[in-house]
Structure 1
Amino acid sequence: MRKKIISSLTTFALLTGAIAGVAGIVGSSSVKAAHGASTFKDVPTAHWASSAIDSAVEQGYFKGYADGTFKPGAPVTKAEMASILARLSDQPELQTPAPNPFTDVPEWAKNGVSTAIAKGFIDPSSYKGKLDAQAPLSRGEMANWLTQGLRVVNSDYGQALSDVTNTVIPAKEYFTGTLAASQKNAVAVALGTGLMSVANDKTFGVNRTTTRAEVAVLIARYASVAKTKPADIQGLNELRQVGLTGTNLSVIAPRYQKPGPEKFSESYDYSKITGDFSKVRNQELVTVTKYATAKIKNWIIINPYVKEKERSIYYPAFVDEKDKLLRGAYYSFIEYDFNIINSMNRLQAGSLFSSPTINPLTSPSSKAFKDYAVPHINSLLSSKGFFVLKNPGYWGEGLLHFDKTLNPEVHLTLKDGTDFFIVPN
């Protein structure tokens, strides 16, 4: 179901009366009329959100201040954001919306909060009777509100919120283990749809406040995403597939498929062959050597040859701009979970599998990998190259080949005899 999200410009008299005293959010727009677009003293044309701010003011979501400023870095409160979201006129309402139970909402914002609840942005069950309405809205809470709104627009966004439960999220907090489970799904969908992004420090910043400039941008992004089918968004598809199966292979390298029975001898039990990575994810694998038992938690594929807009959502977390491969190979990044039997060094880890794709010998040396704080093999090794933990978990780097002279098949066998077997077709 497609829904076109546009602003509803109710009469200025109503807006002024409903939100009197909330400077800079919406009202009579007298400052805007006096100054015109792009003339706020503190919003130069070169400002990263200049055009979005102009559009948001023009559509009536914000107004300027009497001194000719916009205050783009000022935080937006929950009451203010609820009032803004309430005015998305084509956002459908829930069939049976919950009543507004909050006891701390100022009079001017009560209608806005009630409407934001009815339109699915705010779930009262997530709160304990109080919204803390006049507190700044955090980015984590913003992700929750916006993604909850999307699932009302299209039920498949609701399914996406479920599908990403076990996904890998390209944000520093995910890799450092500091992203709360209660925020993970919303952050994943917010990133996957392009609604929100990580900061220069590679963190999503769930506890950072949301600014007026950011809200101006988010309004436009929400309108775009809400008009788009979830299946048409590659980044979201990757996050969903990793969540459901452990890999984004089917999105980035769909040519890799399970070979047909004609590829095997008649004596081979083809019923044990699978191309479904979810069947081997987190299951104990047969290894070439016996230094450790091994499981694979996640497998990320990155095509380094496509244009930026077509790149994997995981590209910025693993690959530097300068990194390129030869002969058409793709990057293969594997998250390993080992249980060392006695002791194991780096070289012995590399001998556990005989595949250029599944290679635990090294972790990426990219700056991106370091900036995102992805678990690296070097942090688990002693000065002599032995693992200091019995149960190390880290990401390794391999190559997914398409050239048939370079052993392009990927073959993993479970202890129960199940064979994960794929080749480029």
Structure 2
Amino acid sequence: MSKGLILARINHFSDYAVFAKEARKSFEDVTNNSFGWAKDTIETLAGAGIVAGVDSSHFEPGRPVTRAKFASLLVKALGLEVKEGTKNPFKDVKGDAWYAGAVTAAAGNGLVKGYEDGTFRPENVITREELVAMLVRAMNLPASEEKLAFKDNDKVSAWARKSVAVAAAHGLVKGFEDGTFRPGDTASRAECAVMIYRMLVAE
């Protein structure tokens, strides 16, 4: 996927985000006292139609997100489509699955790579390091010379270290108050929303 296309999508959202502040969608379970750190982001993305609640009043911000769902969110946020002639590369993604088109589009644009056994494992919950790897691929960010500065650097998988370093250098990830990144933790709906928003408004 070209960096120009990514930037065009991001620039479009940056303009729309101003309007979205007036067209926000609020949820009863996302308040200043509950997931307040993600409240503005979730309401803005919901107003832009990029994320949706589990019903009209609830977002369930703490619920884990599957790999298929995050790939779908990323594809929707960037307005990607399946390229002509692109085939689904994963043997465990059935053609009639609700996420088949999004996963195929994500793979065709280089956002996801799957596992060595040819699977995507769509129903597995996505980890923080997997999420970051997809975002870095989506943004086509250059390699960073900065070293990981999290207290749990040794827990970051070898394949994800460069992506996490790049994401940290560009402010996409900031870790937790205790200085850890927790790469193997599952990512919540709130975390996914915040990461996608940071990607869309990144300079």
Q: TM-score range by the shorter chain?
A: 0.7 to 0.9
Q: Look up the match of 1:220.
A: 197
1:45-90 deviations in Å (ceiling 9; x for gaps):
4511111111121222222233722111111111111111112346
**More strand per residue:** 1
Larger helix percent? 2
Per-residue CA deviations over 1:155-191 (Å, capped at 9, x if unaligned) read xx2xx33x54xx42111122xx333322210110111
The DSSP-based 3-state class of the residue aligned with 2:105 is helix
Decide whether the 8 Å contact of 1:74 with 1:211 is kept in 2: yes
Aligned-residue Cα RMSD (Å) equals 2.8
Q: Which runs of 5+ in 2 are unaligned?
A: 13-23
Structure 1 residues 92 and 192: alpha-carbon distance in aligned structure 2, compared to 1, 3 A threshold: farther
Count of matched residue pairs? 184
Query: Where does residue 110 of structure 2 map in the other structure?
Result: 120
Determine whether 1:43 maps to 2:22: no
* C-alpha separation in 2, matches of 1:189 and 1:97: 32
Gaps of 5+ in 1: 9-35, 152-156, 229-425
Counterpart of 2:147 in structure 1 is: 168
Change (3 A) 1:185 1:59: same
Change (3 A) 1:191 1:93: farther
Partner of 2:74: 85
* Amino acid in structure 1 at the alignment position of 2:139: L
Paired with 2:196 and 2:156, the residues of 1 have a C-alpha distance of 25
- Percent identical pairs in the alignment equals 28
Relative to structure 1, is the Cα distance of residues 184 and 216 closer, same or farther in structure 2, using a 3 angstrom cutoff? Answer: same
Amino acid at match of 1:173: D
- The higher radius of gyration belongs to 1
| Structure 2 length-normalised TM | 0.78
Deviations 1:115-139 (A, max 9, x none): 1112221124x44221110111101
Q: How far, CA to CA, are the matches of 2:79 and 2:101 in structure 1?
A: 17
Counterpart-to-counterpart distance in 2, 1:5 and 1:127: 31
1:140 to 113, 124, 129: 129
Contact 1:5 1:89 in 2 (8 A): yes
Give the whole-Å Cα distance in 2 for the aligned partners of 1:51 and 1:97: 39
Which digits, 9 at most, give the CA deviation of each residue in 1:353-412, with x for residues without a partner?
Answer: xxxxxxxxxxxxxxxxxxxxxxxxxxxxxxxxxxxxxxxxxxxxxxxxxxxxxxxxxxxx
Amino acid at match of 2:91: T
Q: Identify if the C-alpha distance between structure 1 residues 59 and 7 changes in structure 2 by more than 3 Å, giving closer, same or farther.
A: farther
Q: Which has the higher contact order (CA 8 A, sep 6+)?
A: 2
Counterparts of 1:85 and 1:182 in 2: how far apart (Å)? Answer: 21
One of 6, 9, 26 as aligned partner of 1:5: 9
* 1:70 alignment counterpart: 59
**Alpha-carbon shift at residue 200 of structure 1 (Å):** 1.8
- Whether the aligned pair in 2 keeps the contact of 1:97 and 1:118 (CA below 8 Å) is no
1:111 deviates by 0.1
One-letter code aligned to 1:206: P
Assess, with a 3 A threshold, how the Cα gap between structure 1 residues 97 and 223 changes in structure 2: closer, same or farther.
farther
- Corresponding residue to 2:43 among 36, 46, 54: 54
- Indicate how the Cα distance of structure 1 residues 127 and 87 shifts in structure 2: closer, same or farther if over 3 A, else same: farther
